[in-house]
Amino acid sequence: MDDKCGDMEVDEDRLAAADPEGLYLFMLGGYPYMMTPDQVAAFTGTTSQEIRKLLARDEMRGCRIGVRWLVPKLALLNYLYKDRRVE
């Protein structure tokens, strides 16, 4: 996995901690760190419209730049594991 995203360093330890079972990081290797809703939809098997709804309802974290959404891999991993976390 790339250790840089533009000029920003990607924190590999945080990504690994967000995927403690190692289920997703291997499969996310070909995706950029900041993913579009289309890329997230392709990975999760849903539609980009459903991903945008999750982002708008704040169920999935992301950032909006103008009309475009971007989802960091860390936010996607947190969403995928949200119901598995033991408190």
pLDDT single digits (tens) 69-86:
999 999 999 999 987 755
Domain map (residue ranges) of the chain: 6-81
39-47: list long-range contacts, CB under 8 Å, 24+ apart.
Answer: 40/71, 40/76, 43/76, 44/80
Give 8's pLDDT tier (boundaries 50, 70, 90). low
**What is this structure's pTM?**
0.83
CATH of 6-81, one of 3.30.450, 1.10.3470, 3.40.50, 1.10.10: 1.10.10
